[in-house]
Amino acid sequence: MKKPNIILILADDMGYSDIGCYGGEIDTPNLDRLASQGLRYTQFYNTARCCPTRASLLTGMNPHQVGMGHMTHFDDDIDGYRGDLSKQCLTIAEVLKQGDYGTYLSGKWHVCKQQLSKDGDRSNWPLARGFDRSYGIIGGAASYFDPPTLARDNESIDPPQDGDYYFTDDITKNACGFIKDHCNQKPEQPFFCSLRIQRRIGLCMLAQRQLKSTRVDTPADGIDCGSNG
């Protein structure tokens, strides 16, 4: 039996009913089409925060088991709260590589200690945890227009300064590029691609084109950017 290609999309802080196929206010036609041709789950759990959720999804384990009971900004000197993904566990990428998968990640990593220097420790970056290629931010929530800790593979880089840069578009294009390159270079090998979107965390930062199509209501107690979008 041919091994399936796998695309895993993680979106930060998105509620159960935010997307169209679950009754959301925002149009999500592509996700709705995927849902109509697949499965929609009606019962699930999360860890309520960014880093623990990422750690669980990467490893299939409880976040406390892999040192990520809190956030990467803190090392509480307790095994379950190290703020750095344990190297005693396997990631999904490390497991799939054993099955001859090409492995790719684009987006927000945020499961290792915050790096304050471009020459800092890379031993828990994506390429060290089973991914063949990676692109995105190593740290946590960041500007969509000028994100810090941006890196391609193991190299820290600066985002383009062309005025049209938008982080969500950038990581999506890179994910598509990884898949296209894989299919051109290794057509017989299955791939795993993880797209990790920061889209809903923090402030509401829309690209100019989105301002024209996104409904913005102004209730008495403040601004609601289309369900906190």
What is the model's pLDDT at position 73? 76
Q: Please say if 182 is a catalytic residue.
A: no
Predicted confidence at residue 210, as pLDDT, reads 57
Which among 64, 70, 110, 182 is annotated as catalytic?
110
Q: How far apart are CA 139 and CA 110, in angstroms?
A: 5
110 assigned to active site:
yes
In the three-class reduction of DSSP (H, G, I as helix; E, B as strand; rest coil), residue 51 is classed as helix
Which tens digit of pLDDT belongs to each residue from 33-65? 989 998 888 877 778 788 998 999 999 999 999
C-beta of residue 54 within 8 angstroms of C-beta of residue 111: yes
pLDDT of 212: 56
What does the pLDDT read at residue 226?
A: 47
Q: Side-chain half-sphere of 134: how many Cα atoms within 13 Å?
A: 28
Give the pLDDT of residue 214: 53
pLDDT the model gives residue 227: 42
CA distance 182 to 16: 33
Long-range CB contacts (within 8 A, 24+) of 205-211: 205/143, 205/144, 205/145, 207/144, 207/166, 207/168, 207/169
Counting as low any pLDDT under 50, the low residues of the chain are: 216, 218-219, 221-229
Task: Give the whole-angstrom CA distance, residue 111 versus residue 87.
Answer: 12
- Could you give the domains of the chain? 6-44+90-211 (3.40.720.10), 48-87 (no CATH)
Whole-structure pTM value: 0.85
pLDDT value for 155: 93
